[in-house]
Amino acid sequence: MTSRLYLRQWLSGRDFALGDPVAVAMRNFAYALGDRETGEAVLVDPAYAPRELVDLVAAESMTVVGAVATHAHPDHVGGRLMGEHVVAGVAELVAATGVVVHAQAVEVDTLVERTGVDPARVVGHDDYDHLRLGELDVTLVRTPGHTPGSQCLWVDDALLSGDTLFVEGCGRTDLPGGSSDEIYASIHERLAIVPDETTLYPGHFYAEEPHAPLGRVRASNSVFLVRSLAQWRASFG
């Protein structure tokens, strides 16, 4: 990992949003990603307590200059969760700081509708767009399946995978917009370009480890034991 890369992983209900039972139960990871030398950072999936996340970044002499949504589910970006609980997220972050939110273009309308974020502060991206953070280059890899506009962030030797791929298992595909065939292609084809030496940082703490080398994930995660789409449909479809 380059010495310029600033990367922090925080668990909801433990590192921020303490006392929020939903944050505790959902076990979301939020991230800060930035360039240590310029002091610029973005928050990735800043749900539950976005102002706390800004303060955590500021405490390390970094400045939040934007946010990135791996996908537009409320436990990652804010909005109404499970019909009852309203989660703070990108709308509150934008209102407080004026930063822009980066998402895949196909997910922008859903993001705006679910969160109420100012659409003028949302930037839609295409597959393999690049986001500059100081001197760092972040590749936005569209990985549909969990949602149509799910994306992973690949920078240096880190992959922030949202709910596309976990250390154990992968994102569910039975929610609106989900596709079992597409998540198979995302995991087995679209992410195949990412080297084994890369560290996987998932969107939830669903395993014993909060992160792991991608090569080890590929060797141990059951989703990689399936070798064809037909087998995938039989096992996960």
Q: What is the domain count for the chain?
A: 1
CATH of the domain at 180: 3.60.15.10
DSSP 4-21: TEEEEEEEBTTTBSTT-H
What residues contact residue 172 under an 8 Å CB cut-off, 6+ apart?
A: 146, 163, 178
The boundaries of the domain holding residue 72 are 5-236
User: How far apart are alpha carbons 106 and 118 in whole angstroms?
Assistant: 17
Specify the pairing of strand 79-81 against strand 122-125. unpaired
Which helix (H) or strand (E) segment is 76 a member of? helix 74-77
> Using an 8 Å Cβ cutoff, are 77 and 162 in contact?
no
Question: Which pLDDT score, from 0 to 100, does residue 151 have?
Answer: 99
Question: What mean pLDDT is reported for the chain?
Answer: 97
* Calpha distance 20→22 (Å, rounded): 6
Kindly state the percentage of the chain with pLDDT values over 70: 99
Which tens digit of pLDDT belongs to each residue from 174-203? 999 999 999 999 999 999 999 999 999 999
Tens digits of per-residue pLDDT, 203-234?
Answer: 999 999 999 999 999 999 999 999 899 999 98
pLDDT of residue 84: 79
